Amino acid sequence: MSSTPIALITGITGQDGSYLAELLLQKGYEVHGVVRRTSNLSRLRIDTLRLNPDLHGKRFFLHYSDLVDSTSLRKIFRKVRPTEFYHLAGQSHVGLSFEIPESTCHEIASATLGILEICRDLDYPVKMYHAASSEIFGAAEDFPQTEQTAFRPTSPYGCAKAFAAQLCDVYRASYGLFICNGILYNHESPRRGENFVTRKIVRQAAKIKVGLDHELILGNLDSQRDWGHASDYVQAMWMMLQHPSPDNYIVATGKLHSVKDWVQMSFAYLGLDWTQHVKSSEALMRPQEPTRLLGDPTHIQKIIGWKPLHTFESMVTDMVDNDLKLLTEKQES
């Protein structure tokens, strides 16, 4: 087997996958990503890697498959023979999971089971990272939450993630697989999809600033989360797999902010009065909202020494600057 570490990533075209691919390439890895075959070949988050002749086809490779197609996934594992496997893919929008609960559960729960079976059947050991979520805690009894907090999900997405995370625990204990559950709290970046509330806020604030719109309609402004920067969180993923033994880790900042905090900071940064532009609509309220999800990162800080580099303020302004730049460039073109 080559001395060069080989990583396989599902969800490589997403926010976390693109940051993780860049991190691993910087560390000298050979990186393989699983992508769906579509008629649209645009994969903006990884285009800098895909279109780089010094990387693509040399240290960066893409393979076509689907999470529910275990046959093609098994072939990819046999061909690539990864030393590290990062399972990030799956329907990741909590609100949307209420509208498409079946496909959410298939992509997250059933697909993870199939992948665990593939890893169990390999003729060599592979280290696996599984992207769990703070949504597994939902109506948490503990505040803040730790790795020992009971699962009480309040959405189809949270239920599916809880099932997948517990499966990983079972396969680690029963078959001796090296599997880490990364229980990640909300994490954002300029690469966050436009259907997420954080990106919706900063993008709309930028539109109002340049005169392309005049209002922003949101759901519950008082909803609170523990928000961090995605680039910090993929560093935690990698660090988990470098530790000698597998474990479950909460990845969080340990600080709570509200949707209103996002709004106030985004608009103030652009010199705007948010109260003149922002409205709340009952139609955008979720059927059930989790209680305050606040992570306690003590375990990951103590065991592998991870700490976030970004503050809440730097993350918000980073995203606002990015959307303002995109809109300005579009207007000038």
Q: Which residues carry out catalysis?
A: 133, 135, 157
Q: How far apart are CA 223 and CA 198, in angstroms?
A: 12
Whether 189 contacts 316, CB under 8 Å: no
Q: How far apart are CA 240 and CA 86, in angstroms?
A: 11
Radius of gyration, CA atoms only, the chain:
20
As a three-state string, the secondary structure of 265-296 is HHHHHCCCCHHHCEEECHHHCCCCCCCCCCEC
Pairing of strands 178-184, 127-133: parallel
Q: Which amino acid is at 216?
A: L
Structure tokens that stand for 95 in this block: 């609100």
- Which residues neighbour 24 within 8 Å (Cβ) at sequence distance 6 or greater? 5, 7, 31, 238
Structure tokens that stand for 15 in this block: 């926010």
Question: Could you tell me how far CA 158 lies from the centroid of its own chain?
Answer: 14
Q: How far apart are CA 137 and CA 153, in angstroms?
A: 5
